[in-house]
Amino acid sequence: MGLGFSDEVKKELTNRQSFLKSATSVVRYLQAARILYNRLDWKERRKYEYAARDRARMEHTSDLQRKGVEDEMPLFINETQTNENMKPANPEEFTVLFVL
């Protein structure tokens, strides 16, 4: 099963010499993707963070349905305090709480 690497990430993989030779291709891909993500401005990062949050919420809901849990347990506790257009004063203040 091959991974569909984007052209941007492929280019970053070939340009970077700092990747460990012993690392797997998946690890090197994730490193390149992280480098590209860190180059984005905060609005673009926030867009990807909310997309990831929505994917996690959908997976959580489907897991609950598959397990037959009737009562929906919240995945993110601080949902009401988030605003997609709000720039955080300090990015370290934003932590996501998970209910295990």
Q: Are residues 61 and 79 in the same domain?
A: yes
Please report where in the chains the tokens 């004063």 appear, as a residue. 89
* Phi, psi dihedral angles at 76 (to 5 degrees): -115, 120
Domain for residue 98, yes or no? Answer: no
99 compared with 46, residue with greater pLDDT: 46
Domain for residue 99, yes or no? Answer: no
Q: What are the tokens at 60? A: 């959580």
Give the tens place of pLDDT for each residue, 39-72.
889 898 999 899 989 998 888 888 888 888 766 6
Q: Are residues 58 and 72 in the same domain?
A: yes
Q: Are residues 31 and 53 in the same domain?
A: no
Q: Are residues 82 and 63 in the same domain?
A: yes
User: Could you give the number of structural domains in the chain?
Assistant: 2
Instruction: Quote the domain boundaries for residue 16.
Output: 7-38
Q: Are residues 53 and 84 in the same domain?
A: yes
- 99 contacts 74 by C-beta, under 8 angstroms: yes
